[in-house]
A and B are shown apart, each in its own frame.
Chain A
Amino acid sequence: MPAVAARWIVPAAVTALVVGGGVAASAASDAVPELPERSAADLLVAVGEAEPVPFSGTVRTVADLGLPSLGDLPGAPSSETATDPMSALMRLATGENSLRVWVGGPEQQRVSLLDDFSELDVVRDGDVAWTYSSAEDTATRYDLAGFAARAEAAAAEHAAAHGGGVLMAPPSEPALPEGASPADMTPDEVARTLLEGADETTEVTVGEAQVVAGRDAYTLVATPRDDATLVAGIEVAVDAATGLVLQVQVDARDQEAPAFVTGFTDLDLTAPDAEVFAFTPPAGTTVVDALAELDREVAEAPATEAPAEPFDTGALEEMFADAPEPVVHGEGWSTVVELFAPAGAPSLGGTAPSLADDAPSADVSGEDASPFGREDGSDAAEDVDPAELLGQLTTEVEGGQVFTSALLTVLLTDDGRLFVGSVDAATLQGYAG
């Protein structure tokens, strides 16, 4: 009965149309737009001279660094609930994330990290910035002018203590390199100098043009000339019309998928409403004043201890104060840095290292809503068992433990040295001897 068979042609055709349409839509973003040819130096100039324009858009980041997702680690905070800026940043290093971005000008920005049923917002309007976590229902206020004043005061104090009473001059313009005249500092010249400087180690070319967020873009490709490095290349999509950077992609040597991509999925070059940047904490929200919090922590800190500084750089400095200078092996892309394990850091012979107590940078706790150093660090231990975390992240090799990711390898030797580089583990072991 031919009529019967004919009827099934309809759904077949509809399916073909729908699937075809879907595939065509995704293929449209793979299309190669026709753009007038431009040199790499030309494009660098375009990026450098791009007028800052107000825009709003959506950014998608995809990280495939070969790291376990944070949620899979024992004791780690659930990756689905970003609650403070630091853990949100950690999150961007794993998996896929979606951000909405609004930029109104140099002092008006807003970024929202989207989760299924919650959101983390960072808003800046003039001298005041806010972070808001809907999951925690907490808003933190940052008085930027206040922080700047504190930083200046701290610098002056530092200078008074260490510089024999002579106040340091405020940082001036960065000194120009020897023999450089202002004429050499035109973007054009800078681009050329940059390219020449990079040429030894890196091949910078203009790749196939692409479409990003529906806009035609040039592709700048930086390829290391060095085979030892784990970085296979970096691709930057530059908007043909405005010189805006639309997408950055880092490829790793040993994997097909890019190690990290961040780029716009849609972009609107009109100025966002001023409303978008106005933030008032909703009623019932816990409001934290970051500056007051900092002052409180400084006041509460025992007098013998260095006052807590933003991001606890003091503690880090202290850790490395007695350590020998770092040794640099190799050069260019495959540079390996050798550090001696900071004083107090345990050897990894078997006992649990207490990273959480010593290194704020290892803090993956989502509980602490303050981005500042905690008073004693002891509360971190409740959230993350560092030994277990370290065990999950590293593999045992001869002479130490190795942490590998798509772009970076870290070797912790049993005698307490630390080798970091964008090379494979064997190379690090070679340097370790």
Chain B
Amino acid sequence: MFARRRHLAILGVLAAVPVLIALAVYFFDGPSSGDGPPFLDRVTDNGLFVGITALVICVPLFLPLAVGVVAGDTIAGEAGQGTLRYLLLSPAGRTRLLAVKLAGVVVFCAVATLTVVAAGSAVGLALFGAQDVAVLSGGTITPWEAGGRALLAAGYVTVSLVGLGAIGLFVSTLTDVPVGAMAATVTLAVVSQVVGQIPQVEAIHPWLPTYRWFDVADVLRDPVAWESFRLNALLQAAYVAVFSALAWARFTTKDVLS
């Protein structure tokens, strides 16, 4: 999967986001507290926060875009290139192919998030160094703890994206046009966020895959608010269960012609 140039390019763009942020803060004055994206004012205290800031910036669009592209490509991409039927000639079976593809998507979710955090932490440490830094509750954590929190944030966002990955996998089994599957997946992510902003449909908000995406900040409270981590994991697990089952039903009954 990482052999695809497209996917490497996506990771490159993701890595560029924190670099841009760090350079902007480094060469221009840092923002006053409260302005700009969340945590930006903490960047100069501790470079590790570059990664977290970039992560928060990437959550609404860049990361879903990346996951949508990869997940939408899983089955439809093979079909579009005409390689799907050869894959199915091997005795591995469709269920197993699907499982491998899903595992690949999950791995990509983790790699994409870690790319942002790692690139951000690296450039942040190089430019700003690491001091003790304040978390949201006013407590102070050491640079080591800050590193731990950054990884925790990456873990949280990875979990957040897995549900979308499963949706993308299902959409990908519906069509032979990979671009269609990618676009549909990304659109769903955006629509879900838009619906999440409409108070009139509040009742369905907790069921949206994006409902807890921004609760990632809860890992920066003191003590860490684990409850949102747990609820987010439950929500995403539900999406993975439903959409991989749908993908399985669709894929194992599909006539593969290409």
The stretch that binds A, out of B101-109, B129-137, B190-198, is: B129-137
Partner of B138, one of A22, A114, A266, A282: A282
Decide yes or no: A7 and B138 within 8 Å by CB, A117-B39, A119-B221 being known contacts.
no
A340 at the B interface (CB under 8 A): no
Which residues of B in the span 21-78 have a Cβ within 8 Å of any Cβ on A?
A: 33-34, 38-39, 41, 45, 56
Segment of B11-19, B118-126, B178-186, B239-247 in the binding face:
B239-247
Assess the A14–B245 pair: CB atoms within 8 A: yes
When distances are taken between beta carbons in the complex, the residues of chain A under 8 Å from B187 are none
Verify if B139 is at the interface (C-beta below 8 Å from A).
yes
B258 at the interface (CB under 8 A from A): no
User: Are A4 and B134 within 8 A (Cβ)?
Assistant: no
Considering the complex, give the chain A residue whose CB is closest to the CB of B223: A276
* 8 Å CB interface, B222-258 against A: 223, 225, 227, 238, 241-242, 245-246, 248-249, 252-253
Instruction: Verify B245–A10 contact, CB threshold 8 A.
Output: yes
Contact assessment for A279 and B39 in the assembled complex, using a CB-CB cutoff below 8 Å: no
Q: How far is the CA of A279 from the CA of B245 in the complex (A)?
A: 49
Separation of A285 and B214 alpha carbons in the complex (Å): 25
Which of A8, A116, A118, A137 sits near B249, CB closer than 8 Å? A8
* Closest A residue, CB atoms, query B237: A18
Tell whether, in the assembled complex, residue A11 and residue B242 are in contact, meaning their CB atoms are under 8 Å apart.
yes
Count chain B residues whose beta carbon lies closer than 8 angstroms to a beta carbon of A: 34
Q: How far is the CB of B51 from the nearest CB of chain A, in Å?
A: 15
Residue A283 at the B interface, CB < 8 A? yes
How far is A121 from B138 in the complex, measured between Cα atoms in Å? Answer: 8
Would you call A112 and B242 a contact (CB within 8 A)? no
Which residues from chain A contact B207 at a C-beta distance below 8 Å? 22
Residue B217 at the chain A interface, CB threshold 8 Å: yes
Q: A81-B34, A112-B221, A116-B217 are in contact. Are A7 and B252 (CB under 8 A)?
A: yes
Interface residues of A toward B: which range?
35 or more
- B140 interface contact, C-beta 8 A: yes
Docked CA distance A118–B223 (Å): 14
Asked whether, in the complex, the Cβ of A118 is within 8 Å of the Cβ of B136, the reply is: yes
* CA of A268 to CA of B245, assembled, Å: 37
B241 near A117 with CB under 8 A, answer no
Asked whether A100 is an interface residue with its Cβ less than 8 Å from the other chain, the reply is yes
- Give the shortest distance, in Å, between B242 (CB) and chain A (any CB): 5
**Chain B residues near A285 (CB, 8 Å)?**
134, 138
Asked if A132 CB lies within 8 Å of chain B CBs, one says yes
Establish whether residues A18 and B138, one from each chain, have CB atoms under 8 Å apart when the complex forms: no
What are the residues of chain B within 8 A of A135 when measuring CB–CB?
Answer: 33-34
Interfacial chain A residues near B242, Cβ < 8 Å: 11, 14-15, 18
For chain A, what secondary structure do more than half of its interface residues adopt (helix, strand, loop), or is it mixed?
A: mixed
Question: In the bound complex, what is the Cα–Cα distance between A142 and B223 (angstroms)?
Answer: 23
Given A83, A132, A134, A284, which contacts B45 in the complex, CB threshold below 8 Å?
A: A284
With both chains docked as a complex, state the minimum distance between the C-beta of B207 and any C-beta of chain A, in angstroms: 7
Distance, CA A266 to CA B230, complexed state (A): 14
Instruction: Decide yes or no: A116 and B214 within 8 Å by CB, A10-B245, A18-B241, A22-B207 being known contacts.
Output: yes
The digit string for B151-181, where 1 denotes a CB below 8 A from any CB of A, is 0000000000000000000000000000000
B137 with A134: CB separation less than 8 A: yes
Specify which chain A residues have a CB less than 8 angstroms from the CB of B56 in the assembled complex.
Answer: 117
In the complex, A139 has a CB within 8 A of chain B: yes
Residue picked from B134, B137, B140, most chain A C-beta under 10 Å: B137
| A7-B253, A22-B238, A137-B41 as given contacts; A279 in contact with B138, CB under 8 Å | yes
How far, in whole Å, are A123 and B137 apart by their CA atoms in the complex?
10
Inter-chain contact A121/B246, CB cutoff 8 Å: no
Q: Say if the beta carbon of A304 comes within 8 Å of chain B.
A: no
Residues in chain A near residue B238, CB distance under 8 A: 18, 21-22
A346 interface hit (Cβ, 8 Å): no
Query: What chain B residues lie within 8 Å of A282 (beta carbons)?
Result: 132-134, 138-140
Whether A280 sits at the interface, judged by CB under 8 Å, is yes
Q: Quick check: is A353 within 8 A (CB to CB) of the other chain?
A: no
Contact indicator A266/B227 (Cβ below 8 Å)? yes
A136 at the interface (CB under 8 A from B): yes
Which single residue of chain B is at the shortest CB-CB distance from A25? B234
User: Considering the chains assembled together, what is the distance between the CA atoms of A281 and B139 in angstroms?
Assistant: 7
Chain A minimum-CB-distance residue to B45: A284
Bound Cα distance A415, B241 (Å): 66
Report Cα–Cα, A15/B227, bound state, in Å. Answer: 24
Known: A18-B238, A282-B134, A282-B138. A117 touches B245 (CB 8 A): no
Residues of A within 8 A of B215 (CB): 116
Within A1-48, the residues touching B (CB, 8 Å) are 4, 7-8, 10-11, 13-15, 17-18, 21-22
Does any Cβ of B come within 8 Å of A429's Cβ?
no
**Contacts A22-B238, A137-B34; A280 near B140 (Cβ below 8 A):** yes
How many Å lie between the Cα of A8 and that of B250 in the bound state? 8
A58 interfacial by beta-carbon distance below 8 Å:
yes
Determine which residue in B38, B134, B214 has the highest number of CB atoms from chain A within 10 A of its CB, and name it. B134
* CA gap between A21 and B225 in the complex, in Å: 24
Q: Which of A21, A130, A137 contacts B33 (CB 8 A)?
A: A137
A260-286 vs B, Cβ < 8 Å mask (1 yes, 0 no): 000000100000000010011111110
Q: Which residues of A contact B252 (CB under 8 A)?
A: 7
* A30–chain B nearest beta-carbon distance, Å: 15
- For B137, the chain A residues whose CB sits under 8 A away are 112, 119, 121, 132, 134
The 8 closest A-B pairs by CB, nearest first: A282-B134, A117-B38, A11-B245, A132-B138, A137-B33, A14-B245, A119-B136, A11-B246
Q: What are 14 A-B interface contacts by the 8 Å CB criterion?
A: A4-B253, A11-B242, A14-B242, A22-B207, A114-B225, A118-B38, A121-B138, A132-B137, A135-B33, A136-B34, A282-B138, A282-B140, A283-B131, A284-B45
17 extra interchain contacts, Cβ-Cβ under 8 A, other than A112-B221, A137-B134?
Answer: A4-B253, A7-B249, A7-B253, A17-B241, A18-B242, A21-B238, A100-B225, A116-B214, A117-B217, A121-B137, A121-B138, A130-B138, A132-B138, A136-B34, A282-B139, A283-B45, A285-B138
